[in-house]
Amino acid sequence: MIKKNSLGPKHRWLVPLALFAIAFAAGPLSQFHGLSRMPGNLIDSRLENYFLENIFQFLKGNSPSLVHLTYFYPFPYVLGFCDNLFGSAPAYLLPRLLTGQSDTAFQVWFLVGYAANYAAAYWALRRLSCSVISASVGALIFTFALPISGQTHHPQLQYRFGIPLAAAFLISFLEQKNWSHLICAAGWMVWQIYCSIYIGFFLLVLLAVITVIYLLKHFRDMPTLFRLEFLVSWKALPQKKKLVLLLSLMLLAGLTFLIFYPYLQVTLLYGAKRDWATILNGLPRPQSYFIADHSQLWSSASAAGTDISPQCRQEHRLFIGLIPWLLTLTGLVLGYKQKQRLAYSLLATALGMMILLTLNIHGHSLWKLFAEWPLASAIRAGSRIILVLLFPVAFLAALASDRILESSPKYGKLYLALILSCLVFEFSLCHAGESPKSLWRTHLSARNQTIPTPLPPDAILFLAQVNRDYFQIDEVDAMWLSLQHRLPTLNGYSGVYPPEYDFKFGTNSLEIVRRINAYLHWTGKTNDLEAYRSLIRRVVPIGFSPLNPEWLNRPPSSSQKLTTKKQESNPEMEYQKQLERIREAMNRLVPAGATLLVFTEGEDSLLQMNGRVARPFPQETDGTYAAYRPENDADAIAQFEALRKSGARYVLTPAIAFWWLDSYPKFYRHLQETSRSVARDPDYLLFELSSR
């Protein structure tokens, strides 16, 4: 079935290998500065790194379970709150064993994902009769298209090699009626589910849509087709092969049940599902397919004509790039005109159907018909379906590339070389979400210093939230520290939370009582004082306000809780008053319309400055707040200078960010040298920048 080429055997592996090496060097290797920067930030990426590390520690005998993980203790089946990464774990385990470093192994795991995706897409496109060069073009698009760089904050979506392999084998089965290919398609789908529940679910949708399209296409002659082709091909198989295929199918069914069991338990025990409003908000809008604000080429165009909020835009970066779009449209037109074979009709139609099926148009979507189905009810970010749709896109682009080669034997390769150059150039001008590797290490090391020693062997760790705006960082810190100390923790971060959990609690020690009571209430032991005492006396609170000694024997009464809640509100009230004082001062000191850089610490309310153009510092390339800190003074100065040259006139440092001045002394000195002090106040510092 693989198309013959004029290229010799040597070139057949040199061409795709060389193109991958060029794109890999210009893209991820450059974006992550080799191994000095980590994919993503201190939140989601470290969470995924935790899951991989738990697998490693379990195999070493240092972690008690792969399913009942030790965060959100003592709630069971917490693995079912998130992705699992089992299918891609081998790519982590080997570098983890060789380097002894979890962060380096995570980097290697992430980068190997590009190679796995590229190889799978290339092989699948070759199986679908694409030439060596056109299959390389399609594989590049599948592996490096703009939405890939837009999702580096979610590394759990990195491994997608099951998509092209499962789709290619299913199409091969429908075309050739070879039952081994059906088992292979199912096998790759199950492996993809083990790599990522999200991607596995969307792959399942793609395969279902392909099957429905095929059935509709042969609706009139369906009885004859099944009787004379599918059934005959099955009967022609030797009994031994039939048995092997049936056993393989049973094995895959068992593996599927095994991976879904924790997720089914979470649904049954915790009632975990998304409401329609949440699902609808995560579905792509028509304008989503034109957003690429992380691209230096398309960021300006992406900013116009969309009502998607900055907080959601990261999930809606679905623009695949100009060159891929042109190739896709060309492939659509040429394939239709030239009556292409089955693969074209199935993949092209599936691409259109899945886009229409998941599109959110003014609050309406066909996806509502499926939103209550198992699995679909737990899918929040439907926009991630683009990561699966990239394979039909890659096939159409490969089809267009083949037609270019065939239509102009003399200049076809030259045209394609130009297209490939533009393709790699477009991919390389993207900002991938990343953070300094040194920050990952120093940050967790600093938090580890707060852990008291020695710890009781049955201790339960519980860390207070010291990060005002990004409480998730504290929760992931606690998960890592509990794993390192081989102890459980009441902390936790995931897409789903146990019942009655407050996910943002600060340093209030009453949260210890709340979390224990939440678990006891969930187990039906609300008034069981012995169970309460046995748990709370094991808890080691770190960074909390002093715990009332009486609470070790009995939880506080309702009146005590009310008083504590009232006390909790005072710091928030004081902060709001401080914020109003800052705004009043900015009205007096900063001219209307002037651009103001604000050390927001992620507090968006500090950007509401009554007619002043307030921008966060530091910030991502799309203008949103960067949740990670500069690696050093030079990095901070470089980021500051880039924003100053873009038109910033004033710099506001509120009291919550005064720590910057101590942590980055050279940066502070640079700020003083390039600006004049306008106001110094206990609530804020204001500087006016020079025009140099």
Please tell me the distance from the alpha carbon of residue 477 to that of residue 432, in angstroms, as a whole number: 23
3-state percent helix, strand, coil for the chain, nearest multiple of 5: 60, 5, 30
pLDDT at 684 over 80: yes
pLDDT at 644 over 90: no
Max Cα distance, the chain (Å): 88
Tens digit of each residue's pLDDT (9 = 90 or more) over 47-73:
999 999 999 999 999 999 999 999 999
- Percent of the chain scored above 90 by pLDDT? 46
Please tell me the distance from the alpha carbon of residue 115 to that of residue 146, in angstroms, as a whole number: 17
pLDDT at 348 over 60: yes
Q: What is the pLDDT of residue 9?
A: 59
Per-residue confidence band for 8, with pLDDT thresholds at 50, 70 and 90: low
Among all chains, which residue has been given the structure tokens 């002090």? 677
CA atoms within 13 A on the CB side of 532: 20
- Cβ-in-10-Å burial (0-12, 13-18, 19+) of 160 comes to buried
Tens digit of each residue's pLDDT (9 = 90 or more) over 85-125:
999 999 999 999 999 999 999 999 999 999 999 999 999 99
Q: How many residues does the chain have?
A: 692
CA atoms within 13 A on the CB side of 111: 24
Among all chains, which residue has been given the structure tokens 């199986």? 127
Among all chains, which residue has been given the structure tokens 């339960």? 460
Please tell me the distance from the alpha carbon of residue 219 to that of residue 230, in angstroms, as a whole number: 15
Q: What is the pLDDT of residue 467?
A: 76
Q: Most confidently modeled of 47-51, 263-267, 378-382?
A: 47-51
Q: What is the pTM of this model?
A: 0.81
Per-residue confidence band for 558, with pLDDT thresholds at 50, 70 and 90: low
Q: What is the pLDDT of residue 566?
A: 44
Tens digit of each residue's pLDDT (9 = 90 or more) over 482-517:
999 999 999 999 878 888 887 788 888 889 999 999
pLDDT at 2 over 50: no
pLDDT at 562 over 50: no
The whole-angstrom distance between residue 29's C-alpha and the CA centroid of its chain comes to 19
Which pair of structure tokens corresponds to residue 686?
A: 């204001």
pLDDT at 310 over 80: no
> What residues does each domain of the chain span?
9-31+83-428, 438-568, 570-689
Please tell me the distance from the alpha carbon of residue 651 to that of residue 637, in angstroms, as a whole number: 13
- Residues 339, 345, 348: CA angle, nearest 5 degrees: 115
First-to-last C-alpha distance (Å) of the chain: 65
Mean pLDDT of 423-448: 88
pLDDT at 308 over 70: no
Q: What is the pLDDT of residue 355?
A: 95
Among all chains, which residue has been given the structure tokens 């057949």? 12
